Structure 1
Amino acid sequence: MPYKTVLVHVDHSRHAEARMLSAAAVAADCNAHLVGAAMSGVSRYVYQDGASDLLQTVLATHMEELYRRANASLDDFDRIAAGAAVRSFERRLVDDEPGAALALQARYADLVVLSQSDPDDPVARMTPGLPEYVMLASARPVLVLPHSGHFPVIGSEVLVAWDASTAATRALANALPLLKRARRVTVAVFNPDEAHGQQPGADIALYLARHGVNADVMAQRTSIDVGEALLSLAADVDANLIVMGCYGHARLRELLLGGVTATILRSMTAPVLMSH
């Protein structure tokens, strides 16, 4: 299924413009509607708990500043979207904190574009673990952009991490609109076992071929962390997109991630499309 709606997080962090440019490029390439969502930063539960009078009186000046910043960021979004020749776009200002708002908005989108958590960015530092939370709470694919590096093109050289799991299957299916546009797709199978059959990766390569995607399969044994091996291979094949499953679950608001997922989200060197 092609992407029809792309959602991008809009804020005033130092990575916001690159994130919006990438989201606009993907939306334009897929002929999709682009939604830019900015948040006030105040949880919607505050309003439900009857504190709206407090927000409108004692904290009114503070709320006005939050809205001003959000609208200024949305003005930047409008400028970028208009310049990218996307099919259509809209801005949304949501009264909520980013994690909950994006997880909810994502349910009505085909792809969500976020940035890797950056501990050195004072704005991003206010929402640690945002990509992980949205992935685990929304059941939608999330395209995470590294906070370091420049990626004018995303998805021409794709590396798929395949382990025959449910999460990897969902990620690969969710990435098909991008895989069909890729110049080269490489499927990586690390430390294959009996689940992969006699020819590891052959079944998924055949599945992709039926979708018009020609993929090269690389089965490798590694003794190092699989996440590190995946990043090393991504550099070797010049990948500008990694596709993989996200492993983990949320307990209260503590995110418990699998080892490979945590490694990639911490050390990514290329954009990553993940699905849970």
Structure 2
Amino acid sequence: MKIVVIGGTGLIGTKVVAKLRNRGHQVVAASPNTGINTITGEGLAEALTGTDVVVDLANSPSWEDKAVMEFFQTSGHNLLGAEINAGVKLHVAVSIVGVPLMQDSGYMRAKKAQEDLILRSGVPYTLIRSTQFFEFLAGIVNQATEGDTVHVSNVQFQPIAAEDVAGFVTEAALAAPINGITEIAGPERLTMPEMVTRFLKATNDQRKVVPNEHGVYYGAQISNESLVPAGQARLGAINFEAWMASQLQHA
């Protein structure tokens, strides 16, 4: 089977490409660096010729409200149009748990626009909403730091390892389309301050965690349940300790 992975050179994409190739499939790792650009359309029609499945892991280089909306709308229009022309049988995309609940955020509005394009396209699809990745913990900590304190909202948090995300995406790419949304998350649900405290301790970071009740995440107003699955989710197998051990091993 021929599978094109948009964003195939990124964090999740490289893992998905490797997993699919290990199962014997013909996989194209698509990105502007490999001559396939969903924004300009360069190389897109050629890449999708004879393609059965497209996995869309593209991400905007900018989080600025206007730029990120333009990215996901343009990329979505170009990619789905090319898929229709090529007769692609399945579109798999990764979005974010809680997207409809975080529409204060320009990034989340853009992800919702991307989801809506997929739902209206007529291309058979599987949409995976994921919780945040363990790999983003350092970024979450840094953007919430003032001096030697980390100010994070006291909300529920259930991060997942990129390796588990890649496994779920690979599985979806090889299955029939569900024409719906599925949610994935890590195996443990804590509060964000609890998880951040664990991360700082594991990395010998002396910064102190200060929980707050404001419910703000990357500038967006959120509720206690915004960052965790709403209902039944598929859970990854890698917990924080196992993930941390793997990071130290490859450091």
* TMscore range, shorter length: 0.3 to 0.5
Q: TM-score scaled to structure 2, two decimals?
A: 0.33
State the TM-score, normalizing by the size of structure 1: 0.30
Larger Rg: 1
